[in-house]
Amino acid sequence: MLPLMLGVRDVAFPRLNAFGYFTFLAGGILLNSSWFLGGASNAGWFAYANLTSRQFNPGFGVDFWILGLQILGISSTTGALNFFVTILNMRAPGMTMMRLPIFAWMMLITSVLILLAFPVITIALLLLLLDRMVGTTFFEVASGGMPILWQHLFWVFGHPEVYIIILPGMGVVSEVLPAFSRKPLFGYPIMVFSGAAIGFMGFTVWSHHMFTTGLGPIANAAFALTTMAIAVPTGIKIFNWIGTLWGGSIRLRVPLLYALGFISMFLIGGFSGIMHSAAAADTQQHDSYFVVAHFHYVMIGGALFALLSGITYWFPKITGRMMSDAWGRRIFWLFFAGFNITFFPMHFLGLDGMPRRIYTYSAEMGWQFWNFTATIGAFILAISLLFFIIDLFRALRAGAPAGADPWDARTLEWHTTSPPPVHNFDQLPVVSSLDAFWEAKQGAATLSAPPEHEERIHLPQPSYFPALCTLGILLGAYGLLYSGALAIGGLALAVFSIYGWAFEGVGEAK
């Protein structure tokens, strides 16, 4: 979506984009192949030391996890670099930074977070790999290592990662609300700066995941305060979303329903997050189902609602076809109900003392009723998502033709046909204000270029080298586990591909 919204033909580095896609696929393949190759990682998604040490976790499961995450990290890093350069350098003529679509702003901030946070997890994973493969002792207590070091490194990455997930969602919702309220985004500059503030402050709060590890009252108080403070820019965003709706000519279509679901559910997740920020209260809530409830109100109530809002919003642009409005509403309400029936009871269970990460409990604990309720909710949630996928494929085959601008929206992607041609725009738009496309539709502005802006359409030739380089990395990773010769062969293929890539001409596709 980014090049379309910026009014340009492609991202800054199309081949790096291909490489990012292929490494994402390769990391996923490596990670998931471990199920069939002797067992997947069993140390949790957080992989706390010493659950991951060779002594307590023999076999290749954790190694697959480490190598898979490293390859996915390459994908995220190249993607972030690409978006960063694209947004800074590849904008339509006249699109100054304060005329950027708000989604592009949130992606820019997300890219910076990825570029700053991923190196930390890369180093942590490398240290862990050395512990397991070479016998170093970074996280081994018996030899003077520090398991708590892993927690610090993991959460210095892990908390910014929360905002890496949620900021793009905030960007999507900030596009959907104005489109369906038929009003400009309320307080656009404040939305930009509160997004940047969230991104910056996201690096100052990581130890709120470690309140019960014995850091001491001063560190706990400091991280409690920074965590409470990050609610301020988030609250500003919520008020501005309400301000966008306020007095608007609201059309309650499916993308807006998911966006409203995002605001209300993310608000609940935010509130329980603030409850955790009080270190003393967190001591009670830590490792209980209350945290599980909070986490899902942020990740499903936030990220997944926003993702579904974005899918239903941009589906007509991507495919040229409309999704069903009637079915979309039913599926939304099923999803909304299933989500709340599943996860809201977990607040009660957690405050009632149910610990997380247990698979059973004794009957006298009295946790059956809410657990059973949550189970019913989980089935409703799964069925709603199944319906969503079925409706997606139905619309793909038989949806009504969408036309270029079915929502009467505000940003440049709706200026071109649905689906867009390979080169995005026959003639690149020229922008003179924040909502230039909207104003052009009202006859208050023009998007057409003066003749000197017209250029021939330049697109690079496709290349095999990004995929070949990824293959080398994937074989090299398997080689690290199974065969030295394969590791060297994979590395050689990756290096060869990088050179081939560097010296291959760009050429002209058309």
Between 91 and 159, CB nearer to Cu ion: 159
Q: What minimum distance in Å lies between the beta carbon of 347 and Cu ion?
A: 18
- Looking at the Cβ atoms of 159 and 286, the one nearer to Cu ion is 159
Chain position whose Cβ is nearest to Cu ion: 159
CB of 44 to Cu ion, least distance (A): 16
Nearer to Cu ion, 298 or 381 (CB): 298
Separation between Cα atoms, residue 151 and residue 298, nearest integer Å: 21
Which tokens hold the place of 463? 């290349």
Alpha carbon distances (Å) from 457 to 80, 301, 320, 424, 460: 26, 42, 23, 10, 10
Closer Cβ to Cu ion, 159 or 321, answer by number? 159
The pairs formed by 45-51 with CB atoms below 8 angstroms and a separation of 24 or more are: 46/154, 46/158, 47/128, 47/150, 47/154, 48/147, 48/150, 48/151, 48/154, 49/128, 49/139, 49/140, 49/145, 49/147, 49/149, 49/150, 49/151, 50/139, 50/140, 50/141, 50/147
Nearest approach in angstroms of CB 339 to Cu ion is 21
Q: Closer to Cu ion by CB, 155 or 367: give it.
A: 155
Q: Give dist(CA 108, CA 88) in Å, integer.
A: 8
Nearer to Cu ion, 151 or 240 (CB): 151
Measured in whole angstroms, the distance separating CA 27 from the mean position of its chain's CA atoms is 16
In the three-class reduction of DSSP (H, G, I as helix; E, B as strand; rest coil), residue 324 is classed as: coil
Question: Least separation, in Å, of the C-beta of 139 and Cu ion?
Answer: 21
- Give the Å distances, CA to CA, from 234 to 1, 227, 269, 307: 25, 11, 12, 18
How far is residue 423 from each of residues 6, 314, 440, 504, measured CA to CA in Å?
A: 13, 18, 22, 22
Nearer to Cu ion, 61 or 269 (CB): 269
Identity of the residue, 158 or 429, whose beta carbon is nearer to Cu ion in the bound complex: 158
CB 71 within 8 A of CB 20: no
Residues 463 and 488: beta-carbon distance below 8 Å: no
The nearest distance, CB 157 to Cu ion, in angstroms, is 11
Give min distance, CB of 124 to Cu ion, in A: 16
Whole-number minimum distance, CB 121 to Cu ion, in Å?
Answer: 14
Residues 6 or more apart whose Cβ sits within 8 Å of residue 112: 80, 84, 199
Cα–Cα distance between 241 and 471 in angstroms, integer?
A: 44
> Which residue, 159 or 347, is less far from Cu ion as judged by CB?
159
Minimum gap (Å) between residue 273 Cβ and Cu ion: 8
Q: Amino acid identity of 485?
A: A
Nearest to Cu ion of 202, 320 (CB atom): 202
CB of 151 vs Cu ion, minimal distance in Å = 12
Nearer to Cu ion by Cβ, of 179 and 300: the residue is 300
Interface ranges with Cu ion (CB under 5 A): 159
In the complex, minimum distance from the CB of residue 361 to Cu ion, in angstroms, rounded to a whole number: 27
Judge whether 56 and 50 are in contact, CB under 8 Å: yes
| 245 C-beta neighbours (distance < 10 Å), count | 18
**Nearest distance from C-beta of residue 166 to Cu ion, angstroms:** 11
Please tell me the distance from the alpha carbon of residue 443 to that of residue 438, in angstroms, as a whole number.
9
